[in-house]
Amino acid sequence: MREQWRAVLLLVRTAWRTDPWRSAGLLLEPISFLRFPLFAWFLGFMVDGALRHDARLLATGAAGITATRVLWFLGRWTGSWIRNRLTEEVGFALDREIASLSSGLPGLEHHERPEYQDRLEMLRQQQGVLGSSLNTLIYTGNTVVTGVSTLAALAFVSPWLLLLVPFALTALPIAAVQQRWLREAEGLSAPLHRRARHLQALTVDRGAGMELRVFGLENEVLDRFRHAAAEAQRPVLRVARRGALLDAAGDLLFLAGFAGAVAFMLWRARQGQATAGQVVMAVYLAQQVRSGVVEPIRLAGFLGEMLRAAGRMLWLQDYAREMSAARAGTVAAPERLVDGIVFDRVSFRYPGTDRWALRDVSLRIPAGSVVALVGENGAGKTTIVKLLSRMYEPTEGRILVDGVDLATLEVGAWRRRLSAAFQDFARFEFAAQHTVGAGDLARVDDRPSVRAALERAGGGHVLDTLPGGVDTQLGARWDGGVDLSTGQWQKLALGRALMRMDPLVVFFDEPTASLDALAEHALFARYAREARSGTERGAITLLVSHRFSTVRSADLILVISGGGVSELGGHDELLRHGGLYAQLYLMQANAYQPDAEPVAP
């Protein structure tokens, strides 16, 4: 019950925060829902007036019915106009909050948790419900007003008529059972819906589109999508069929009670205990018991769905708050590095797995150095980058920055001292200026800085090919938008990484995978030279590459193998050592010289 009240308060607070005046104006609408008992009362006046030939009763009844209709029209029109506008605003506000909470989580751990993804998927499915939740809540309140006023009017005619209520209340256990079934069905269908969304996304994704057509997978993916969508709907449809049978049983019970109420009023009239107007009033009101008493119960289904959606929103708020608190940190990020970064027996495994991605890693990255991480795919190179950028926290051990535990640094402040370019870079479909300038929001509109960053990234020519230069809209899906090749997008991502002024740590996590080895080597050599110009700040440049020829200019090379550091040292030192680095380096060197004799150590 406490969580349900929290869900209701969430909607009320959001509405008040969004538009307090319209929120206050909603109080006008419930007044119009007094129309049923008022109409029945004045209708009784008219019937008795007509039978008694009493002009005063007739006039009172006619005036009352007219006033009731006017009240209904004004309240309904005003309330509906306010409610519909406010509902739209609240829906947008909740959508913005979902986006803000999801993107504002401090790390990436939640992406590795299936239970998080399932809950988020259910929240996505119910965003429409969440958007219209205020409407549902208000309408439920209006029907409660109708029900209470209808019962009061029935009791005024005869308290015995309230015996009709138990026949209506049979809908309560029916609704409870239906909601329990629906909750179970939603839980079963969430992972199936997630799979269906993935398959549907493949059919409209440009990158996947090429392979779908080359391998003739269009029908296969569509068949799998249809199957997944059907499987996802099956639990819900099964519940809907069972719920319809329960509704029919409840309807029959109420009809029996209604027939008894009508017979009771006719008996009272024959006994002279009720007037004809009271009989008409009672029959009219008895019909409204179905909507006045049962309707709020029927709405419990929609209200329950709304509360579940709002409850999942609360869960996301609570989860974001807990994750942010766990990684809050209170220590300011350093302005410069003096000693460097130390991994002190760091171990890490991704959520939901038993395999160690890193195991008992201890190493020191000196301040002011250019460090390369090399190793085979899956060795743990990118995991080190993720831990240093605090996308994840070590499972065991700690990371020290100038002797201070990284976990105690304020996350946002630390990340403002970082910059990065990744292999899986984002394709921000903004104007080219902002796509690059996003790397330093303080200078996002600084054209010379954007041009300079791209030149340093070897991508100045990309701007020259765009029809509108830096103002060109990127992305073919937008009006006037221009699509780019993967290599061009990659150059923009590299320029974005070089926008931030004086970062303490810069990560280059295989960001040049679409370039040939010679071009990548030239770029990294240039980055290394630039990095050494920042040694007075103790800045660290971390290069991750599977191309061993690229990292020769690094001050320190770390060979990552099996989740640990198997070798470290300079290029020449590692070659002389004759270990894994030397083997892989020479293997790659020979691969690039197919017609030459194999190079020996």
List, for residues 370-420, the tens digit of each pLDDT value: 999 988 888 888 899 999 999 899 999 999 999 999 999 998 899 999 998
pLDDT digits over 454-481, tens only?
988 888 889 889 998 999 999 887 888 8
The whole-number pLDDT of residue 599 equals: 46
Of 309, 306, 267, 263, residue with least CA distance to 286: 263
Q: Can you list the residues of the chain whose pLDDT is less than 70? A: 1, 27-28, 78-79, 125-134, 206-207, 210-211, 213-214, 291, 294, 297-298, 300-301, 512-521, 528-536, 549, 589-601
Q: How far apart are alpha carbons 377 and 589 in whole angstroms?
A: 18
Of 514, 528, 579, 524, residue with least CA distance to 549: 524
Please say whether the beta carbons of 104 and 316 come within 8 A: no
Please say whether the beta carbons of 415 and 598 come within 8 A: no
Please say whether the beta carbons of 508 and 371 come within 8 A: no
Q: How far apart are alpha carbons 126 and 94 in whole angstroms?
A: 12
The whole-number pLDDT of residue 384 equals: 93
Please name the residues in contact with 330: beta carbons below 8 A apart, sequence gap of 6 or more.
408, 410
The whole-number pLDDT of residue 207 equals: 65
Domains assigned to the chain: 2-326 (1.20.1560.10), 328-417+503-593 (3.40.50.300), 426-502 (no CATH)
Q: How far apart are alpha carbons 94 and 594 in whole angstroms?
A: 60
The whole-number pLDDT of residue 598 equals: 45
Global confidence as pTM: 0.67
The whole-number pLDDT of residue 128 equals: 64
Bridge-based pairing state of the strands 556-561 and 564-569: antiparallel
